Amino acid sequence: MTKDCNTAIAECDVSHHNHPLIVSWRHKGLKAFFETGSSSGIRTDHSKRLAHVLAVLNRARTPANVNMPGWRLHPLKGELEGFWSITINANWRIIFRFFDTDVELVDYLDYH
């Protein structure tokens, strides 16, 4: 199924899945950006890259599905073991984990 992507990110479903694969969020501003396009809770200079990353995450089923050139996808260790990280800009990251084939606990942070 394909839909025109000139609408809010949440309305743009370019996948064949019957449900969204991002099932939970840690960052309220990022969730609002994804659902409504509002950039009030994120750095506006990150909005284009965040939109792209979230669109890919929303149809990903495995970490390999989000291993894009330049995204620096890598698994985290220590307290964040089980999470994956994608570079947005400088020290800013999107972190998330997979639960079966869903993406959960999506966060947007400067963790360095």
For CA atoms 77, 80, 82, 85, the dihedral sign is negative
Cβ atoms of 51 and 57 within 8 Å: the answer is no
**Tell me, what amino acid is at 9?**
I
Q: Which of 27, 52, 74, 112 is catalytic?
A: 112
Strand boundaries in 1-112, DSSP class E: 74-75, 84-89, 92-99, 102-110
Confirm whether 112 is a catalytic residue.
yes
Residue with tokens 């307290």: 79
- Angle formed at CA 93 by CA 91 and CA 53, multiple of 5 degrees: 135
Q: Tell me the catalytic residues.
A: 112
